[in-house]
Amino acid sequence: MASASSSHADALRIYSALSQLPAPRSYTGKIFLVAFLGTHIPLLTAVGYTALSSLTWQQAGPILQVTLGATLIGTGCTLWVLHRLLAPLRCTAEAMQHYVDTHDPPDLPTHFNDRAGQLMHNTQRTLTKLSTLLAFKDRMLGIVSHDARGPASSVLMAVDVISKQLDTEQPNMDYVRSLTEQVEHTVEYQLDVFQSMLDMARYGEGKITLHKETDRADAVMQRVGQNLHMLAHNRNHDLTVRAEPPDLELHTDIGKLEQILNNLGTNALKYTPPGGTVELAMRTTKDAIVFAVSDTGPGISEELRDELFDAYRADAGPGTDSVGLGLWICKTFTEALGGAIDVADTSSNGTTFVVQFPRDVLEASAVS
C-alpha cells in the first residue's frame, strides 16, 4: 500500500504543482495553458534570436510575422484537438455525477483501448456492477421480509391457539403438543431460510452453496405440510400432501427443496379464496422426479406469465401483501438444484406449479 501511494505521488507531482496555480482553475484550463506555452516556444525563440542577433527589426519583421501566424494557427488547432481529447474525462465525470444523482448506470463506450478508453470502460463496469450489487441487496432484503412473514405468522397463530387451550379448564394436551412440534418445525425451517439467504448474499446471485444430504420423500413432504398447516387451517383450506413412492430417497439440498415447496404452498394458500383446496404432490416418471403444487384459486392471467418469476412483479396477486419474491426464490433455488419450474395450468379453475428434476440429479440411488 505504501509503495502504491509513493508511485501515485510520483506520477501526480506535476499535476499537484499545476493544481496550486490560482488560474486557470479548471483541469482543462491547465492543459490549455501548458499547450499554449508549448506551442509558443518557436515564436519566443525567434524573438529572442532576433533581439540578440545583428538582424534589424525590418529584416526580422517578415520572419516574426510568419512565425507568429503559424504559432497562432498551431495553437488554435492544438487547443481544439486537446479539447476533443479530453472528452472521455468530461463524459466520465458527467456519468459519475449522473449516477450519484439518479442511481441509473451510464452508457459509456467500452471499445477504446488507450488509457482514456480504459477509464471509461472501468467506470462503466464498476457502476454497472455496483448497480447490480445494490439491486441484489434490495432483493435480499425483500426476500428476508417475504420469507420471514409467513412462518412468523404461523408461529404467532400456533402460540395463540396454545395459549387459548392452556386457559381452558381441560386443555387438549395432545393438540398442544402437536402445535408445539409445528412451531419447532417452523422455527427450524426459518433458520434454514436465513442460512439460504446468507449463502446467496455471500456468493452472489447464481452462485449458491448447496448443502446436500439424503432424506426420504415422505419426510420432506410431511415437514412441508406441517409448516403450511396453520396457514391452511386459518384460511379454512383443505390441504393435501402426498409422495409417491413415499420411501424414495432424495439426495440434494433438502432445506432449499423444502423452501421451494413452502413458497409455492404458501402462495397457493394465500391466493386461493377461503374454503379452497391446495395439494402438494410428488411423483416419479421414467426420467424425472416431479413436484406439483395445485390450488383452486383464481388462476394466473396470461399477461403475467412472462414476468411471473421476476423478483418484483407489478401484481403479486389479489388479496395478499406479497412483494412478488416467492416465485423468484423458487426459480433461483430450483435451477441451483438442477431442475426447472413452470406453470402447468393458468386457467380460471386454479393453478398448478410444476418443479421437475432429472432422476439422476435428485434420486439418491442414481446420484450415488
Position 40: which residue type?
Answer: H
Whether residue 221 sits in one domain with residue 125: no
Q: For residue 183, is it within any domain?
A: no
In a domain, 37, yes or no: yes
Q: Which of 45-49, 55-59, 176-180 has the highest mean pLDDT?
A: 176-180
- Whether residues 83 and 220 share a domain: the answer is no
Q: Which residue did the predictor score with more confidence, 117 or 3?
A: 117
In a domain, 146, yes or no: no
Looking at the fold, whether 353 and 216 belong to one and the same domain comes out as yes
Return the ∠ at Cα 225 (arms to 191 and 274), rounded to 5°.
110
Q: Is it the case that residue 224 has pLDDT exceeding 90?
A: yes
Instruction: Label residues 182-204 b or e (16+ Cβ within 10 Å = b).
Output: bbebbeebbebbeebbebbbeee
Highest mean pLDDT among 113-127, 173-187, 349-363: 349-363
Whole-number pLDDT of residue 361? 92
pLDDT in tens, 61-112: 777 777 777 777 777 777 776 777 778 888 888 889 989 998 888 888 888 7
- The answer to whether the beta carbons of residues 86 and 32 sit under 8 Å apart is no
Asked if 222 and 358 sit in the same domain, the reply is: yes
Give yes or no for a contact between 299 and 308, defined as CB atoms under 8 angstroms apart.
no
pLDDT category at 138 given cuts 50, 70, 90 is confident
- pLDDT at residue 108, rounded to an integer: 86
91 domain-assigned:
yes
| Three-state SS at 56 | coil
In a domain, 139, yes or no: no
Q: For residues 19 and 24, give the distance between their C-alpha atoms in angstroms, rounded to a whole number.
A: 9
Please report how many Cα atoms fall inside a 13 Å half-sphere around the Cα of residue 186, on the Cβ side.
27
What is the average per-residue pLDDT within 116-126? 86
Residue 237 sits in a domain whose CATH number is 3.30.565.10
Please report whether residue 181 resides in a domain: no
Asked if the structure places residue 32 within a domain, the reply is yes
Output the pLDDT for position 76: 78
pLDDT of residue 267: 86
Q: How many domains does the chain have?
A: 2
Confidence at residue 1, expressed as pLDDT on a 0 to 100 scale:
45
Q: Which residues, 6 or more positions from 182, have their beta carbon under 8 angstroms from its beta carbon? A: 154, 158, 226, 227, 229, 230
Name the strand (E) or helix (H) holding 19.
helix 13-19
Both 35 and 128 in a single domain? yes
Query: ∠ at Cα 196 (190, 202), nearest 5°?
Result: 140
Give the per-residue pLDDT at 196.
60
In terms of domains, do 350 and 228 share one? yes
- Structure confidence at residue 218 as a pLDDT band (50, 70, 90): very high
123 and 214 assigned to the same domain: no
Q: What is the pTM of this model?
A: 0.56
Most confident of 18-27, 300-309, 315-324, 348-357: 348-357
Q: In this predicted structure, what is the pLDDT of residue 314?
A: 40
Is 259 or 311 the better-scoring residue by pLDDT? 259
Query: What are the Cα distances from residue 109, in Å, to 20, 50, 106, 121, 164?
Result: 32, 50, 9, 7, 66
Q: Could you tell me the three cell numbers for 312? A: 418484483
Same domain, 85 and 225: no
Confidence check: pLDDT of 4 > 50: no
Which of 105, 132, 159 lies at the terminal end of a domain, its last residue? Answer: 132
147 in a structural domain: no
Q: Please compute the mean of the pLDDT values over residues 183-189 and round it to a whole number.
A: 77
Taking the C-alpha atoms of residue 312 and residue 141, their distance in angstroms, rounded to an integer, is 12
One domain, residues 235 and 324: yes
For residue range 257-303, what is the model confidence (pLDDT) as tens digits? Answer: 998 999 899 889 988 999 999 999 999 999 999 999 999 988 887 77
More confident residue, 361 or 187: 361
Domain with 346 in it: 210-367
120 and 229, same domain (yes or no): no
Judge if 221 and 357 occupy the same domain. Answer: yes
Final residue of a structural domain among 100, 132, 164: 132
For the chain, what is the mean pLDDT? 80
Q: Which of 109-113, 167-171, 182-186, 206-210 has the lowest mean pLDDT?
A: 206-210
Domain boundary among 132, 167, 191: 132
| Residues 121 and 223 occupy one common structural domain | no
* 129 pLDDT more than 60: yes
